[in-house]
Amino acid sequence: MAHTQGTVYQATWGKRDTQLILPTNSSLSVTLSQDHLRSLTTARCITDARPDARDRLWLNGDEEEIKEGGRTARCLEEMRALRRKVESSDPSLPPLSTHPLHIASENNFPTAAGLASSASGLSALIATLARLYALDDAHGVSTSDLSRIARQGSGSACRSMFGGYVAWEQGERADGLDSVAVEVAPASHWPDLHALILVVSDKKKGTPSTAGMQRTVATSALLEHRIKHVVPARMERISRAILARDFDAFAQETMADSNQFHAVCLDTAPPIFYLNDTSRAIMQLVAELNRASGRALAAYTYDAGPNAVLYVQEKDVRTVLDVVLRYFPQTRASFPDPFGTGASPTGESQVG
Ligand code: ADP
Ligand code: CO
């Protein structure tokens, strides 16, 4: 079992190699605490399998096809190959690598709606198989090795193998060995920083991330500009802001990057719209709140979907939640009040 959730605030959008999943630019994300949003994945080796038994995967209760040569299949292959290596070096281990796998996973947050379920789900899958197969430091397998495999399942999953603030360095090699996730700071570095998840819509998005990205790479001139002239310096600034716990700088970079990412989506032909009117109203509300306060109270960011992630310092969580709930009244509370007062429903906003 494993649970991980990665929320991207600097979008990885664009791949230079779609097989190995090598990105056109570096990126950075925050892995949220597993207490709130998570993928819960269970894997089992079918040791008494019939000859026609095969690998199977259930996602949120429905079976998903594992396409031959597809990404999930490639991840399973790579994990089996590592297990085979470990088995051949330690004959006391049972030959698990020969058995079919049955895998079940459940996300407790919307799937394919721009809250990084692919990053969460694929990193949980790799972490789960690593545990089942005993692929750990004791057997010569590092988290970085696992992260490289997770990357081939879903690019952003390479970051979510680590906790805290994680960069994905694009790398230069054609084989992708230097396209790796590295921790910028552990989660404990900035305990004061909270993420409020505002679920605007839990519907599956119209354009899946992979298809959208390929279209952007093929058609957007703005993406070229972003990759060459914006992202490298922004990676530096955002890493510095995190290390210095400089919320104002962090907020400025985060919102600017989200805006440019969605501008790139609009610059794609045909255009991709991930934000909706509610998303944009939240952006305006945050901008107005920050302006009226004379400092950044909240920073919004949207990945490939309409749902907002608001970063807020602990001292401002109550204020920001009050304002959000005033403008977007909730009809049902699907999460408990994060302050445990039970007084005001938090709707689908969530402190992570
Ligand atoms: P998102 O914005 O949620 O990351 P994507 O389009 O990038 O949306 O990816 C969604 C896909 O990720 C799903 O259709 C599914 O194939 C895969 N996925 C999501 N959650 C899981 C999970 N828990 N386990 C395995 N695969 C998952
Ligand atoms: Co995704």
CB 64 within 8 A of CB 111: no
Q: Which pLDDT value is given to residue 302? A: 96
Strands (E), the chain: 5-10, 15-17, 22-23, 27-32, 39-45, 56-59, 62-64, 101-107, 164-168, 181-185, 193-198, 298-302, 308-313
What is the C-alpha separation between 31 and 143, in angstroms, rounded?
15
Beta strand pairing call for 56-59 and 101-107:
parallel
Neighbours of 232 (CB within 10 A): 12
* Distance from Cα 116 to the centre of ligand 2, integer Å: 4
* Distance from Cα 52 to the centre of ligand 2, integer Å: 32
88: tokens are 């051949």
Closest CA to 250 of 291, 299, 294, 283: 299
| The model's pTM | 0.90
Q: Which pLDDT value is given to residue 350? A: 30
Ligand 1, pocket-test mutation among 118, 129, 207, 302, most atoms within 8 A of CB: 118
Q: Is the peptide bond before 51 cis (omega within 30 degrees of 0)?
A: no
| pLDDT average per 10 residues of sequence, the chain (352 residues) | 41 81 94 89 92 94 97 98 96 93 96 95 96 96 97 95 95 94 96 95 94 95 96 96 98 97 97 97 98 98 96 97 94 50 31 28
What is the C-alpha separation between 229 and 224, in angstroms, rounded?
8
Q: Give residue 122's Cα distance to chain centre.
A: 9
Q: Which pLDDT value is given to residue 11? A: 52
* Distance from Cα 334 to the centre of ligand 1, integer Å: 22
Beta strand pairing call for 27-32 and 164-168:
antiparallel
Ligand located closest to 307 CA: 1
Ligand 1, pocket-test mutation among 117, 151, 302, most atoms within 8 A of CB: 117
Atom 4 in ligand 1: residue holding the nearest Cα: 116
What is the C-alpha separation between 185 and 129, in angstroms, rounded?
26
Residues with CB under 5 A from ligand 2 (ion): 118, 209
Atom 12 in ligand 1: residue holding the nearest Cα: 118
Ligand 1, pocket-test mutation among 29, 106, 111, most atoms within 8 A of CB: 111
Atom 16 in ligand 1: residue holding the nearest Cα: 118
* Distance from Cα 168 to the centre of ligand 1, integer Å: 19
What is the C-alpha separation between 143 and 135, in angstroms, rounded?
9
Q: How far is CA 49 from CA 5, 44, 100, 218, 266, in A?
A: 32, 12, 7, 45, 49
Burial 96-134 (b: 16+ CB within 10 A, else e): bbebbbbbbbbbebbbbbbbbbbbbbbbbbbbbbbebbb
Helix, strand, or coil here: 274? coil
Ligand located closest to 210 CA: 1
* Distance from Cα 265 to the centre of ligand 2, integer Å: 15
What is the C-alpha separation between 182 and 161, in angstroms, rounded?
10
Ligand located closest to 150 CA: 1
Which residues form ligand 1's pocket by a CB distance below 6 Å? Answer: 39, 59, 105, 107, 111-118, 121-122, 124-125, 208-209, 303-305
